[in-house]
Amino acid sequence: AQSVTQLGSHVSVSEGALVLLRCNYSSSVPPYLFWYVQYPNQGLQLLLKYTSAATLVKGINGFEAEFKKSETSFHLTKPSAHMSDAAEYFCAVWRNDYKLSFGAGTTVTVRA
Amino acid sequence: GAGVSQSPSNKVTEKGKDVELRCDPISGHTALYWYRQSLGQGLEFLIYFQGNSAPDKSGLPSDRFSAERTGGSVSTLTIQRTQQEDSAVYLCASSPSSAGTTDTQYFGPGTRLTVL
């Protein structure tokens, strides 16, 4: 069954520094992968998704993720963190029973 | 256009009471999902509606939980005889297409349920 694992429940970065959030997937078939962001007291918003068209996926707010089959990874990055990036980030994989399986989430704090 | 809306935004109830949570999906979206987000845990799938098909209830944690979707639009999640472990944020999501696609799910802001 398809699943994802997010490494690190909490990441703290300085404003302007690189943001790197790690996600590894487990899937016996080519996966469809997603990153969602959840700001405080809000629902989830899609950042980007991978559907096998291109391995480097660009999303909103300057985020991007690279699909690496050899490493079974789909890590999320942003070159320069902004205070507004403070939120919880979820990696998810599309399951073949029409559901999304989410990781446990990574909370990002940004230091001034 | 309008996104997914949920009501109420917050609900505090006493143990043993029934609660109803409402979700208004984006107009025209055929798929609707309910998830539960508990403190310190990820998102847990509860139930999935696709058009007029029978819902996938495989994620409901007990028979105290039920959901319906009227007219292919609004959905209500009902929890009977609430327990403290039901305290969580309940999220609703909708997506535009039919089963088997990987369309983006659009989430509502959630209902925070607290059972005292």
Chain A positions in Cβ-Cβ contact with residue B43 (cut-off 8 Å): 44, 90, 100, 102
Lowest mean per-residue pLDDT among A23-37, B20-34, B95-109? B95-109
Neighbours of A37 (CB within 10 A): 21
pLDDT over threshold 60, residue B1: no
Confidence tier at B98 by pLDDT (50, 70, 90): low
pLDDT digits 0-9 by tens, A63-89:
999 999 999 999 999 999 999 999 999
* Averaged pLDDT of chain A: 92
Q: DSSP of chain A, one letter per residue? A: --EEEEE-SEEEEETTS-EEEEEEEE-SS---EEEEEE-TTS-EEEEEEE-SS-SEEE-GGG-EEEEEGGGTEEEEEESS--GGG-EEEEEEEE-TTS-EEE---EEEEEE-
**Do residues B21 and B6 lie in contact, with contact meaning Cβ atoms separated by under 8 Å?**
yes
pLDDT over threshold 80, residue A53: no
pLDDT over threshold 90, residue B92: yes
Confidence tier at B100 by pLDDT (50, 70, 90): low
- Estimate to the nearest angstrom the gap between the alpha carbon of A98 and the chain centroid: 20
B49 touches chain A (CB under 8 A): no
pLDDT over threshold 80, residue B79: yes
The residue of B102, B103, B104 whose CB has the most chain A CBs within 10 angstroms, and thus the best one to mutate to test that interface, is B102
A41 touches chain B (CB under 8 A): yes
Q: In what order do the strands lie in the sheet with A3-7?
A: A3-7, A19-26, A73-78, A64-68, A56-58
CA atoms within 13 A on the CB side of B99: 12
A103 touches chain B (CB under 8 A): yes
The span from the CA of B35 to the CA of B22, in Å, is 13
Mean pLDDT of B9-18: 97
